[in-house]
A = this chain, B = another copy of it.
Amino acid sequence: MHNKGLVVQKYGGSSVANVERIQKVAQRVVETRKKGYHLVVVVSALGDTTDELITLANKINTNPSEREMDMLLSTGEQISVALLAMAIHKLGIEAISFTGAQVGIITDTSHTRARIIKINTDKIKAELKKDKVVIVAGFQGVTLNQDITTLGRGGSDLTAVALAKELGADSCEIYTDVEGIYTTDPRIEPKAKKINAITYDEMLEMASLGAQVMQARSIEVAKKFNVPLHVRSSFSTSCGTMIIKEVDKMEDVVVSGITLNKNEAKITLCGVSDKPGIAVRLFKHLAEAEVSVDMIVQNVSHTRLTDISFTIAKSDCAKASKITKKVARDIAAGEVLLNEDIARVSIVGVGMKSHHGVAAKMFGIMAANKINIEMISTSDISISCIIKKKFAEIAVRKLHAEFGLSL
Taking beta carbons and an 8 Å cutoff, which residues of A are in contact with B?
A: 19, 22-23, 53, 56-57, 59-61, 64-65, 67-69, 71-72, 74-75, 78-79, 81-83, 85-87, 89-90, 96-97, 99, 101-102, 146-148
Contacts and interface: CB of A to CB of B under 8 A. Distances in A.
Nearest to A83: B60
A138 to B, nearest CB: 15
A85 B111 CA distance: 16
Q: Looking at A61, A96, A101, A102, which has the most chain B CB atoms within 10 Å of its CB?
A: A61
Contacts of A86: 57, 60-61, 64-65, 68, 72
Contacts of A87: 60-61
21 contacts: A19-B60, A23-B60, A53-B79, A60-B86, A60-B87, A60-B90, A61-B86, A61-B87, A61-B90, A65-B85, A67-B96, A68-B82, A68-B86, A69-B82, A71-B78, A71-B82, A72-B78, A72-B79, A72-B83, A102-B147, A102-B148
Closest 6 CB pairs of A and B: A72-B82, A75-B75, A71-B82, A61-B86, A61-B90, A64-B86
A102 B71 CA distance: 11
Contacts of A96: 67
Contacts of A19: 56, 59-60
Contact of A89 (B59, B65, B81, B97): B65
A107 to B, nearest CB: 15
Q: Looking at A23, A81, A83, A99, which has the most chain B CB atoms within 10 Å of its CB?
A: A83
A86 B87 CA distance: 34
Given A60-B22, A90-B60, A75 B79 contact: yes
Nearest to A58: B86
A90 B334 CA distance: 41
A352 to B, nearest CB: 47
A388 to B, nearest CB: 42
A74 to B, nearest CB: 8
Given A60-B22, A60-B23, A97 B68 contact: yes
A81 B70 CA distance: 12
Given A83-B56, A146-B102, A89 B61 contact: yes
A64 B89 contact: yes
Q: Looking at A71, A78, A79, A85, which has the most chain B CB atoms within 10 Å of its CB?
A: A71
Nearest to A23: B60
Q: Looking at A23, A68, A85, A89, which has the most chain B CB atoms within 10 Å of its CB?
A: A68
Nearest to A85: B68
A62 to B, nearest CB: 9
A143 to B, nearest CB: 11
Contacts of A71: 78, 81-82, 85, 97, 99
A24 to B, nearest CB: 12
Given A22-B60, A60-B90, A71-B82, 5 more contacts: A60-B83, A65-B85, A68-B85, A101-B101, A102-B148
Contacts of A85: 65, 68, 71
A97 B99 CA distance: 18
A123 to B, nearest CB: 8
A68 B102 CA distance: 13
A53 B80 CA distance: 11
Nearest to A19: B59
A69 B83 CA distance: 8
A78 B89 CA distance: 25
A269 to B, nearest CB: 37
